[in-house]
Amino acid sequence: MSLPDSNPQWGSTYRRMASEKWKAKSAAMGRDATDALVNHARPLPGMQVLDLASGTGEPAISLALRVAPSGHVTALDLSGELLEVAAARAKERGLENFSTRQADAHSLPFPDQSFDLVTSRFGVMFFQDIAKALREMHRVMKPGGRVCFLAWGPFEQPFWSSMWGVVHKYAGGTLTPPGQDPCRYAQPGSLTAFLRQAGFQDVDEETKTVPWTWPGTAEEVWELTQEVSTPFLPLIKRVPAEKWDQANREVLQAVRSYAEGDQIKFGAVVVLASGTKT
């Protein structure tokens, strides 16, 4: 097996192709995490919602279903290509209360007090200046509005350790480039500390485990993970070429240890954090 390309960036055509190829199975794997965030956010009909780092459409689509018919969801992302996928998925669902906006979470293109709810699923970890992004969220929220995040828990959990943990053993060095650690808010209280600093009240945080099940083979989920887990891809370049086949076999063996029937049942440890603008 040859070494995979390790240079795709967030929002690249390569990542969009990966998202399209695996969209049904990827959506199935992430459904319970999406539901956990949506339930934590408590959307109500009529709410104006902003979903940040929406990518290909979740949880924005699920939120749009909950705030219909009079509410509206704006899905925001840096990548116009991924938002095209999100818009197409919303159209397939017949959603008329869903729109997309290509923009940066650090400089939101909306007036003050525009939204009742701001959410992000697996996006807050990658905001380069979390304090600035949170100030922007606070600005565009109405008094009484809530912000709700879902972030990854510790790296030491099946989904990460079975794949990138194995590769890291062969690659050495740091796990991810500076500022790109998807597990940066795994430490309890670390994300809510930023929420308090940004002026949010009634701050709440919990760590929980949700189902994270791939409806297919170990080979498939490893292929997908290599295509879309951008922060970890530099690890691949550091694996000696003569060791790659061995590393790849070890990854697949580790992933298969979570197989039950025709599914890979990883489970996901996640952090849910929220706060209110008074």
Cis before 188? omega within 30 = no
Residue 3 lies in a domain: no
Angle (CA) 196 42 128, round 5°? 40
Q: How many domains does the chain have?
A: 1
The two tokens of residue 73 are 């969801």
Residue 6 lies in a domain: no
Residue 124 lies in a domain: yes
Q: Which helix (H) or strand (E) holds 12?
A: none
Residue 151 lies in a domain: yes
Residue 178 lies in a domain: yes
**The domain containing residue 33 runs over which residues?**
13-276
Per-residue pLDDT of the chain (278 residues; tens, 9 = 90+): 333 333 334 434 445 545 567 878 988 999 999 999 999 999 999 999 999 999 889 999 999 999 999 999 999 999 998 899 899 999 999 999 999 999 999 999 999 999 999 999 999 999 999 999 999 999 999 999 999 999 999 999 999 999 999 999 999 999 999 888 999 999 999 999 999 999 999 999 999 999 999 999 999 999 999 888 889 999 999 999 999 999 999 999 999 999 999 999 999 999 999 999 99
Angle (CA) 266 270 273, round 5°? 165
CATH number of the domain where residue 92 is located:
3.40.50.150
Alpha-carbon 35 to chain mean position: 13
Residue 1 lies in a domain: no
